[in-house]
Amino acid sequence: MHEVLEILSVLVLTTGVVLSVAAISVGWLTPGRGRAKVLRPRVWGYGTLIAMAGIGTFLFVGPLHGPDMGNFAVAMGGMAVFAAGLYVQRQSMKPARKTSS
């Protein structure tokens, strides 16, 4: 069962990375209800990339690593990075700031 969870985790993380790279490079988002809320797709892509790095660190250093608690701080750091990625994604739903020059 552990191997199945690892494979599913890798598939989800890979999908997230591919979608974020598509959003960053060409501004493409998957069709759906949430697409209309995202005003800046490239920022959303960066947020998703950050979130995937954080959740990947959490998963493979924490729960999928085993019962060893030696990497607890690193796993919680991964969760903090994941939360930062979600914050960046939330910022992509706000209009860009206007700069005066």
**82-101 burial string, b = 16+ CB within 10 Å, else e?**
beebbebbeebeeeeeeeee
User: Which residue range is the domain that position 25 belongs to?
Assistant: 2-91
Percent of the chain with pLDDT strictly greater than 90: 68
Tens digit of pLDDT for each residue in 55-92? 999 998 888 777 777 788 888 999 999 999 999 999 99
How many domains are contained in the chain? 1
| 96 falls within a domain | no
Q: What pTM does this model have?
A: 0.88
| 97 falls within a domain | no
